[in-house]
Amino acid sequence: MNGTGISRLLNSLTGERVTFDSQQENIYVSCPLAQWTHQNGYDKSRGFSIKVNPFGVSPCYCWNTACGFKGTLFQLLTKFEDYSKSYNQHARDIYSTNSSLDPSDLLNFLEEDFEGAEKLDISMLDGYPPFREPWRNLSPETLEAWDVRLDAQKSRILFPVYTRDQELVGAVGRTINGHKLKYLNYWGFKKSRVLFGEGVDCNSHVIILEGQVDALKVWQAFSGTRAAVALMGSKPSKTQLHRLVTYYDSATIFLDNDVAGLAGLLPLVEGLIKEMPVFNVCKPYRGDPGSLSSEEIVSLVTNAVPIILGLA
């Protein structure tokens, strides 16, 4: 949903005149849930932020500790309807008209943190042949080590997700034909329950990345001698943080060099710094790690800066 559509939706929910500045990625408004979730019943601080996302996910967050809403625009609308005695059909119509998400894709974003990940039968992968063709400068050996597959019917590269104990818990498909939804979760997979790549090796030091391709490229750059895991997003869930401190003794944070990557840095540091040595790749680099050469990756990781408790 673009900025104009989001503004119209928020106008409908809050009655507040909301305008969108095309130079900004975020819209800040009064929390639409304030009358139910804020202690004083209103929000004068405009402490509710929405990131304008071209794929329609549009993450929302309320900074008020009494509320703390976190989710997508669709979840915000659903929560508003749960609280409100009057069904806001106008807001729902605005969302349906402006959202770029297919209705069948919405469930992929209605996630919560769960301590466990549901084990799947490995036969779920039988219909998806191994993918070993040259792609994104990844070698056939790397694609094989991470069990990358192809969903030819949906034109997606399929990344099976395994736990530390080599149990299949889901898969994520990355479009190769420009579909408006870049990633698609398979079989009800909840990405917040696990770290992508946690089962590939058991090295004590881990490099933390956002995306699946990032993890493969970094792992390949070090010839498989470094553990690399992906959050499958920019911010870690509580379950992911728990798995990081359980499985590893130290970590290097290597998130995308953009606004989302910067936003994800703080919760990662806060969740890890008291449990292990933490380093951060902070030298400027282009975009995401997956777009870098192996030489650039090795140089950046090798020169990562330690984060000192109290100075983070």
The predicted model gives 7-24 an average pLDDT of 72
pLDDT in tens, 209-266: 999 999 999 999 999 999 999 999 888 888 899 899 999 999 999 998 877 777 778 8
CATH tag for 122-307 (out of 3.40.1780.10, 3.40.50.300, 3.30.70.3340, 3.40.1360.10): 3.40.1360.10
Cβ neighbour number for residue 65 with a 10 Å cutoff = 8
Residue whose C-alpha is closest to residue 70's, from 45, 107, 37: 37
Residue whose C-alpha is closest to residue 267's, from 310, 244, 235: 235
> Residue 12: is its pLDDT beyond 90?
no
Cβ neighbour number for residue 308 with a 10 Å cutoff = 10
Residues ≥6 apart with Cβ < 8 Å to 185: 108, 170, 171, 172, 173, 191
- Between residues 264 and 159, which one has the greater pLDDT? 159
Cβ neighbour number for residue 305 with a 10 Å cutoff = 12
Q: Please list the residue range(s) of the chain that carry CATH number 3.40.1360.10.
A: 122-307
pLDDT of residue 23: 55
Tokens of 221: 């750059």
Confidence of residue 189 (pLDDT cuts 50, 70, 90): confident
Spatial contact of 169 and 193, defined as CB atoms under 8 Å apart: yes
Residues ≥6 apart with Cβ < 8 Å to 155: 175, 176, 177, 179
pLDDT in tens, 25-61: 678 888 989 999 998 888 888 888 888 765 556 788 8
pLDDT of residue 228: 96
The predicted model gives 279-284 an average pLDDT of 86
Say which range, 43-57, 94-108, 137-151, 175-189, has the weakest mean pLDDT: 94-108
- Between residues 105 and 171, which one has the greater pLDDT? 171
pLDDT of residue 104: 42
Tokens of 155: 């034109």
The predicted model gives 294-305 an average pLDDT of 94
pLDDT of residue 33: 92
Compute the distance between CA of residue 204 and CA of residue 247 in angstroms, rounded to an integer.
Answer: 7
- The number of residues making up the chain comes to 312
Cα 254–Cα 255–Cα 261 angle in degrees, nearest 5: 150
Long-range pairs of 222-231 with CB within 8 A, sequence gap ≥ 24: 222/297, 222/298, 222/301, 224/145, 226/301, 227/197, 227/200, 227/201, 227/202, 227/203, 228/197, 228/200, 229/195, 229/196, 229/197, 229/198, 230/195, 230/196, 230/197, 231/191, 231/195, 231/196, 231/264
Tokens of 139: 């070698």
Got the DSSP string for 224-276? Answer: T-SEEEE-SSSS--HHHHHHHHHH-SEEEE---SSHHHHHHHHHHHHHHTTTS
pLDDT in tens, 87-121: 677 777 777 777 655 444 444 444 444 445 678 89
pLDDT of residue 305: 93
Say which range, 10-19, 50-59, 62-71, has the weakest mean pLDDT: 50-59
Confidence of residue 24 (pLDDT cuts 50, 70, 90): low
The predicted model gives 145-158 an average pLDDT of 95
- Sign for the pseudo-dihedral over CA of 301, 304, 310, 312: negative
Is the overall model pTM greater than 0.75, yes or no?
no
Compute the distance between CA of residue 254 and CA of residue 209 in angstroms, rounded to an integer.
Answer: 5
Tokens of 27: 């819209």
> Residue 11: is its pLDDT beyond 90?
no
Compute the distance between CA of residue 289 and CA of residue 297 in angstroms, rounded to an integer.
Answer: 7
Spatial contact of 282 and 255, defined as CB atoms under 8 Å apart: no
> Residue 161: is its pLDDT beyond 50?
yes
Spatial contact of 51 and 25, defined as CB atoms under 8 Å apart: yes
Say which range, 84-88, 127-131, 269-273, has the weakest mean pLDDT: 84-88
pLDDT of residue 108: 43
Spatial contact of 108 and 11, defined as CB atoms under 8 Å apart: no
pLDDT of residue 187: 87
Percent of the chain with pLDDT over 90: 39
pLDDT of residue 116: 58
